[in-house]
Amino acid sequence: QTLDITAEICPMTFVRTRLALDRLAPGQKLLVLLRGEEPRRNVPRSARDHGHKVLSDETGPDGVTRLLLERAG
């Protein structure tokens, strides 16, 4: 599953991410595309705070961060 929140601003970035994670089964992965310094800091931290795993966090030359999350079991 992929969620593109590059046009969203905080706090909606994690709200949208959390809703997408809630629709997944435990162990399923979600690729989140985001842009901006605040979402880059807040979305991975909030995901961890809710028990989810951050598998990778990479920002490309286009400025888009690709965050791979795994839903908590």
- Per residue in 7-58, pLDDT (tens digit) is 998 889 999 999 999 999 999 999 999 999 999 999 999 999 999 999 999 9
> Is it true that the peptide bond before 44 is cis, omega within 30 degrees of 0?
no
CA dist., res. 34 & res. 63, Å (int): 9
In the prediction, which pLDDT does 21 show? Answer: 97
Is 50 within 8 Å of 72 (Cβ atoms)? yes
Question: DSSP state, 1?
Answer: -
What count of other Cβ atoms lies within 10 Å of the Cβ of residue 23? Answer: 11
Catalytic residue among 10, 33, 64, 72: 10
Instruction: Establish whether 22 is a catalytic residue.
Output: no
Q: Model confidence at 1, in pLDDT bands (50, 70, 90)? A: very high
